[in-house]
Chains A and B, each alone.
Chain A
Amino acid sequence: MPSAIANRKRFLFVDDDPQFLAGIRQLFTEKSHGRWEVLTAENHAQALALLSKQRMELVVLDIGMPVMDGIQFLQLLGRTHPGQAVAMLTGRSSEERRRLSLASGAVLYLEKPLSADGFEAVFAALDSVAGTQPQAGFQGMMRRIGLQDVLQMECLARKSSVLEIFTGQAGGRIFICDGSIVHAECGTVRGEGALYSLLGLRGGAFNLAPFVEPPQRSIEGQWEFLLMEAARINDEAAPTLPPQQTPSPAPESPALSGEVGPEASDTRVPPPSPVRIDEILLTSGAGEVLFDSKCQSPDNRMQLLTQLEEMGRQLSALAPIGRFERLEIRAAAGERAVCLVRPDRRLFVRSATAVAELV
């Protein structure tokens, strides 16, 4: 039942008592009738490893744990996983611990039950909290900011979210999980084809909603490549398409070979692109060229990126501004460049656009 699986709430219980964890897993899995996926961790390292892979509806922490107690771990999660809902479940309750936990961001403070009725109450409380978390998300109009920009921000920040897109002509959803684009759907089209169609849309509304597991994971690969491929497709499609293009059949292109449903042919919307990509260069951190589109002098670009990396490092040392991520450059007539420097990737993109603001 894919829809039931997609709607399952994922809970992570962290406790240094393996017997307690085994009991909780069995009991709450049964009580939820499959609505809960119960994951457990006996220490902080296991918990962090799980959190780095999957988004949890709720993390439930024991307080009395060795090395780092639950409240300290709660405070750590507040910094490393902002927005993650955390509840405390302790066998050693005190008013001071309750106050500290709630002040540190816990959404709930519960005492470990001693009876079956008590577990019933804990289950109900956790279920209720997980179902009523505020739907943190943004809504906006995409007149002056591109979907690529939103996607890039989400991916760079390694976030998990669902980008819902609506226009008068089409709409769809792009699923981002831990900074990777894992699924897209546009009408009945699924996969990369849907992603490229959605990224070709112009003028509409989007809603950045909290992540939910997609019905399937249809996309793999680096988000940089996916966005660049989308830019390339739009760039190549633009000159041949009239403005205000209405939905048309999907072109027979290997680049649009995502999983396509039986009625997919009427859902591809290839409108003209507002951006002309003039150049793209993607390299590894060691300087190996991974992707090159219309780059006349890769050596020059790599030299530029190396200079910027050094400058970014120097600036970070001069003032408390944080780690350097990228430089965006705007020149006259809408010419623009983005230089992204990360330990494992360097990216240079030059474009010409009518967009009149840095984002």
Chain B
Amino acid sequence: MKRAVEALFQGRPPLAGLAAWCVVQPDGATFSHCHTDWFKPAQVERALQRMTTGVQNLRGLEMQPDLWCWVFDRTRIYMTLRPDGAALALFAENRPGLPVTEIDAVLQEFRSLPAAAAESTRSSG
């Protein structure tokens, strides 16, 4: 999955305002990339793990969300969760003018990655 996710980012121009991205794989393993020194990989990975477990345990929401946007005063975290348990989070600056359409496209593509990508990741580590 790591190669497939990296290809998602390498195949397009850099996303303006993107500070970091992070993936939780179906087996719980994580990998990430920080574009700035705002974040350390361990921070974004812990944050994504907290978000994924949190949203899976949310009570009182009768929806089946596919996209989440956590808005903090300095950061927006766009997150998507696949049925197989894999999740991708994009940590972006919270400012107007960010390319939301591009961010949306990355998240959609991540959700569309074939399950085989996840399997090959597990085997490749």
Which residues does A use to contact B, with CB under 8 Å? 138, 153, 297, 299-304, 307-308, 311-312, 314-316, 318-332, 335, 337, 350, 356-359
Contact = CB atoms under 8 A, between A and B. Distances in A.
A302 B60 CA distance: 8
Given A301-B60, A307-B59, A329 B54 contact: no
A195 to B, nearest CB: 23
Contacts of A357: 100-101, 104
Contacts of B54: 307, 311
B70 A320 contact: no
Contact of B91 (A316, A321, A359): A321
B66 A315 contact: no
Classify chain B: how many residues form its interface, as a range. 35 or more
A318 B46 contact: yes
B50 A315 contact: yes
B64 A331 contact: yes
B61 A304 contact: yes
Interface stretch (B1-9, B71-79, B114-122): B71-79
Interface of B: 38-39, 43-44, 46-47, 50-51, 54, 57-61, 63-75, 77-78, 91, 94, 96, 100-101, 104
> B interface, by DSSP: helix, strand, loop or mixed?
mixed
B72 A312 contact: yes
B59 A328 contact: no
A330 B54 CA distance: 16
Given A304-B60, A315-B51, A324-B70, A331 B43 contact: no
B74 A322 contact: yes
